[in-house]
Amino acid sequence: MAALGQWPTLLKTVNQILQQGYTIGTGQVISNGALGTIVKAMPGVYRADFGPLGIIAFDAR
């Protein structure tokens, strides 16, 4: 979807969320793509702390 551009991709994501019966409330965050430059991951454990939004961690092999 990223090839569509930022706004069309966001619109498509929002429509998919709503079609699945979910709602989007004030203050909720929708992330539909990279927030920075794409780089090739080296093997290892990665952890991102988004403060009050939570933590995401994964193992790249």
For the segment 4-55, what is each residue's pLDDT rounded down to a tens digit? 678 888 899 999 999 999 999 999 988 877 667 888 889 999 999 999 989 9
What phi and psi values does residue 58 have, to the nearest 5 degrees?
Answer: -155, 165
Token pair, residue 34, equals: 């990279």
Phi, psi (degrees; rounded to nearest 5) at 48: -120, 125
Looking at the chain, how many residues does it have?
61
Report the pLDDT value the prediction gives residue 33, as an integer from 0 to 100: 72
d(CA 32, CA 2): 8
Note the pLDDT of residue 39. Answer: 82
Provide the pLDDT for residue 24: 95
Domain that holds residue 16: 2-60
Domain count, the chain: 1
